[in-house]
Amino acid sequence: MGQTDYVPRYARAIPAARVFTAKCSFHLASCKALPLCWGDWRTPPASRPSATTEHKAVNTTPNGSLACVGIGITLGSHISPLARSHIEKAEVVFTAVSDGIVELWLREMNPDVRSLQPYYAEGKPRPQTYREMVEAMMTEVRAGKRVCGVFYGHPGVFAWAPHRAIKVAREEGYPAHMEPGISSEDCLYADLGIDPGKVGCQHFDATQFMLFRRNVDPGAWLILWQVGLAGEQTGRRFGTGPAYRQVLVDVLRRHYPADHEVTVYRAATLPLQAPRMERLPISGLPEADLNMSDTLAVPPCRELEADHEVQQRLALLDVATEPG
């Protein structure tokens, strides 16, 4: 069977998925509402929502519980048995996943699947969207339901709502648990052949990287998340453009030459897709076609610098502690 003939088991079970997968015409770029992350670092401490501002009640219905699970990046093939078990056993499943086909697939596992996507809207402040998502899940937990929140990738990686929902649930006395998933970071290591242990690897949200002065180590890998949103400070838009990315280029230029080659990476979300791995010089970023699911991988531009003093101290220790 040739690769294009292959129809995965989930797709055979879901007619719409079969058509969808066979055509392979959809990719995340067309999904306006790919779940985004709006980190706590963007929100001043005084205005951060807490369990008390979101809901004042304490646990009066002890049966409620929350599990936030990750289903990985590639549809059907990354889900763990534990995540599947949480989904199947839940009384209500909420989803913030990468596209509609994933929701169809989840409905094969549980009849009560509710999308969190409608909470997103162009122009709506994302902190409000995330608070509403947490509230939607917590309303069912407080009603005594076994609730499962399903998130694409890893639910705890660049994802605000799952962390917040678990915190709120625990503060209110409900059992709450996070089940890890295969994140886009994991896919990136596999597809780009990067071992983060080799020279080290730094990860930043692209906008945070621009807004704050970071100690960048150009001897290590640098991974910039949400690069399609680089410089987006309003919390209301789903992308920025060349002028914003030129600012990113200027920040990167403090550490890297203009012709340093970087990779725009997008992991496959459907089994028949190939990952996007597009190499370009840093100076080409403003004109690059970037969307909400792209990640930027910047390789090191210089050798590791030896710390001779520490090396000598350790060598002396080796001599001093040598047996015999």
Ligand X SMILES: C[S@@+](CC[C@H](N)C(=O)[O-])C[C@H]1O[C@@H](n2cnc3c(N)ncnc32)[C@H](O)[C@@H]1O
| Angle, alpha carbons 121-245-273 (nearest 5°) | 65
Nearer to ligand X, 10 or 145 (CB): 10
Give the DSSP per-residue string, 179-226.
Answer: E----HHHHHHHHHT--HHHH-EEEEEHHHHHHS-----TTSEEEEES
The answer to whether 109 and 90 have CB atoms below 8 angstroms apart is no
Catalytic residue among 42, 126, 142, 164: 126
Q: Closest residue to ligand X, Cβ-based?
A: 153
Beta-sheet strand order (sheet of 201-205): 201-205, 221-225, 295-298, 261-266, 276-281
The answer to whether 185 and 165 have CB atoms below 8 angstroms apart is no
Q: Does 152 qualify as catalytic in the annotation?
A: yes
CB of 159 to ligand X, least distance (A): 4
The answer to whether 304 and 199 have CB atoms below 8 angstroms apart is yes
CB of 275 to ligand X, least distance (A): 7
Nearer to ligand X, 145 or 266 (CB): 266
Nearer to ligand X, 10 or 209 (CB): 209
Nearer to ligand X, 64 or 263 (CB): 263
Q: Does 130 qualify as catalytic in the annotation?
A: yes
Radius of gyration of the chain (CA): 22
Nearest to 103, CA basis, from 151, 138, 158, 60: 151
CA 172 to chain centre: 27
Catalytic residue among 130, 244, 256, 265: 130
Catalytic residue among 119, 120, 152, 265: 152
CB of 185 to ligand X, least distance (A): 6
Nearer to ligand X, 137 or 159 (CB): 159
CB of 309 to ligand X, least distance (A): 38
Q: List phi, psi (to 5°) of 296.
A: -105, 125
Instruction: Give the whole-angstrom CA distance, residue 149 versus residue 165.
Output: 9
Count the neighbouring beta carbons within 10 Å of the beta carbon of residue 159. 25
CB of 154 to ligand X, least distance (A): 4
> Site residues (CB under 6 A) for ligand X?
28, 35-37, 73, 153-154, 157-159, 183-184, 225-226, 265-267, 269, 292-293, 295
Which residues are known catalytic residues? 126, 130, 152
